[in-house]
């Protein structure tokens, strides 16, 4: 019997070893190497540099801006998205499923596309500029709105998902006991929702705190987040010590945010009585509820559909009237001058290929990690859980640059290998795979596995016959997210994608970095293609997704 226990531990160790090795080699090592290179001088650690860098006024400005724009973005997102969470949870109306999918599209869109879309809407010569002479692209509003656009779905899905499963009879019980409508909501529903709201707010804060693509495109010279500053210091000023210090600062901040997030998630697991969401939704009643629904629809229209619509419109709006001019130009390398060595359209195939490989890697590593985490949760396991989330927040720029300086000698000389890009993209995909799979795997009743074992199924057979069929949908959803995230990865890819093999986001950024109407138009066209690829993969997912599949 004792041997069974030992065998169980060995299995767990084996499952954990692959993800750990993956993270050690392709995450911890490159990041540590960059930090080491920045902070070490002639073989000695120069920790004094930390204080020195953090004392510089321009760095303090960056820190201050990063923090307050993240706070403002989070607050704005909550204000705009919480009513939508309520509407999606409690109301039944035609087109609800489609609308839910539409709302989710921005979340899987590459940051570069989001930046481009808002540039087309709010920028120079943009939609609002032509319409009313209003330009917001050099103000902080463009950044905040783009962040809301991007994170709207996080709040709607995390909070709305739980809200739709709260038993309305709890509120009814409070009403019968004498509580008014608002009092019942405040005393019964709100306390049940608080952990979900906190978890969603923290995720939004995390994403906006580490924002890169959006700020890079919309921020101009005036606004710079930590991540953008790290990129500037690394790629343009070649000031590695400053970049290393900033990486450490971001690392500490992200670690703190994730720790708080893990804590709220654990609190969320406290037993709530959940019911089938289909039973809690009903048609809106009365003018007030219809007005609320209308308001949410209007928000979605203005905030989400309008920017995407304008982006598509701009991509067709060539010098000689509407047409496919920009798309045609994508087919040749010469059209955009010396920006590309290959026709930009090749980036589409590069991206798809890379994303596919990255998805497979992420599924393999993330799947093993999720399987390891399913088995009995201890303190160590929870630490492992938090570790897997780190790539979501740690500077992708640092990871990308770290790849270049660490994976360049045998036995791991990958500098010239195409696999470098998918490896970096898979790093961001793994947290999504784990987050999507884990709740479903944990929800599989352990006694189902025991029942199969008693009926004669060996452990491997149990996994194949019980776990796999039950998590198949979650696995597909995880694959879809990993695919979309890999497709849009920008911060790391921008360093490691070779000039003759650009990915879509890298190509878009390069086009936007050049002047001229043709480059601008081609960027719009390429972004539209990227948006379509992401949106289609998401809409496919939406058809198979279950409400249980995780947090995103």
Interface residues with other proteins (CB under 8 A)?
A: 1-5, 445, 447-448, 450-459, 461-462, 465-466, 469-470
Question: 136 by DSSP, 3-state: which?
Answer: coil
Give CA–CA dist 162/153, Å, rounded.
14
User: Are 487 and 533 spatial neighbours (Cβ–Cβ below 8 Å)?
Assistant: yes
Degrees to nearest 5, angle at CA 305 with 302 and 308:
120
Rounded alpha-carbon distances, angstroms, from residue 506 to 180, 307, 510: 55, 21, 6
- To the nearest 10 degrees (0 to 180), the angle between helices 420-443 and 468-488 is 150
Q: Are 268 and 66 in contact (CB under 8 A)?
A: no
Can you state the angle between helices 111-122 and 504-512, rounded to 10 degrees?
A: 30
Do residues 186 and 192 touch, judged by C-beta distance below 8 A?
A: no
Q: Strand (E) positions, 277-411?
A: 317-318, 321-322, 408-409
Q: At 55, phi and psi to the nearest 5?
A: -85, -10
d(CA 391, CA 532): 26
Strand partners, 91: 282
| 460 preceded by a cis bond (ω within 30 of 0) | no
Give the distance, in angstroms, between the CA of residue 214 and the centroid of all CA atoms in the same chain.
13
């Amino acid at each position: 019997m004792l041997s069974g226990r030992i065998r169980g531990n060995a299995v767990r160790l084996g499952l954990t070893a692959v993800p750990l090795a993956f993270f050690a080699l392709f995450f911890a090592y490159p990041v540590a190497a960059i930090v080491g290179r920045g902070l070490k001088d002639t073989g000695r650690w120069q920790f004094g540099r930390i204080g020195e860098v953090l004392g510089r006024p321009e760095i303090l400005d960056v820190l201050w801006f990063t923090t307050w724009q993240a706070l403002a973005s989070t607050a704005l997102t909550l204000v705009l998205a919480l009513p939508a969470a309520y509407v999606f949870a409690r109301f039944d109306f035609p087109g609800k499923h489609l609308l839910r999918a539409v709302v989710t599209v921005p979340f899987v869109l590459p940051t570069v596309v989001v930046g481009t879309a808002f540039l087309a809407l709010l920028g120079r010569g943009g939609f609002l500029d032509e319409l009313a002479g209003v330009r917001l692209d050099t103000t902080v509003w463009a950044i905040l709105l783009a962040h809301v656009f991007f994170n709207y779905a996080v709040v709607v899905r995390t909070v709305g998902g739980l809200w739709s499963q709260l038993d309305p009879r709890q509120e009814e019980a409070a009403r019968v006991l004498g509580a008014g409508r608002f009092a019942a909501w405040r005393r019964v529903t709100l306390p049940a929702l608080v952990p979900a709201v906190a978890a969603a707010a923290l995720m939004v804060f995390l994403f906006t705190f580490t924002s890169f693509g959006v700020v890079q495109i919309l921020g101009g010279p005036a606004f710079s987040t930590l991540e953008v500053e790290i990129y500037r210091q690394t790629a343009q000023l070649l000031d590695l010590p400053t970049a290393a210090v900033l990486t450490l600062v971001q690392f500490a901040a992200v670690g703190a945010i994730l720790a708080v997030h893990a804590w709220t998630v654990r609190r969320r697991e406290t037993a709530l009585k959940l019911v089938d969401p289909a039973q809690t939704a009903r048609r809106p009643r009365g003018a007030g509820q219809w007005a609320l629904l209308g308001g949410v629809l209007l928000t979605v229209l203005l905030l989400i559909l309008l920017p995407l619509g304008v982006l598509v419109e701009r991509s067709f709006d060539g010098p000689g009237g509407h047409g496919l001019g920009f798309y045609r130009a994508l087919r040749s390398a010469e059209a955009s001058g010396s920006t590309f060595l290959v026709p930009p359209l090749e980036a589409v195939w590069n991206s798809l290929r890379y994303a596919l490989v990255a998805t497979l890697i992420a599924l393999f590593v993330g799947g093993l990690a999720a399987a390891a985490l399913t088995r009995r949760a201890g303190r160590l396991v929870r630490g492992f859980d938090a570790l897997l989330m780190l790539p979501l927040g740690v500077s992708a720029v640092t990871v990308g640059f770290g790849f270049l300086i660490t994976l360049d000698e045998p036995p791991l000389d990958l500098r010239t290998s195409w696999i470098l890009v998918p490896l970096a993209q898979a790093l961001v995909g793994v947290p999504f795979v784990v987050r999507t799979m884990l709740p479903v795997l944990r929800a599989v009743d352990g006694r189902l596995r025991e029942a199969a074992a008693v009926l004669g199924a060996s452990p491997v057979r149990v996994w194949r016959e019980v776990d796999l069929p039950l998590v198949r949908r979650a696995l597909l959803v995880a694959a879809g997210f990993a695919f979309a995230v890999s497709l849009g990865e920008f911060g790391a890819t921008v360093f490691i994608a070779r000039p003759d093999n650009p990915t879509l986001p890298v190509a878009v950024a390069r086009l936007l970095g050049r002047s001229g109407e043709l480059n601008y138009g081609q960027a719009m066209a390429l972004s539209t293609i990227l948006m379509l690829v992401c949106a289609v993969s998401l809409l496919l997912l939406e058809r198979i997704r279950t409400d249980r599949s995780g947090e995103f």
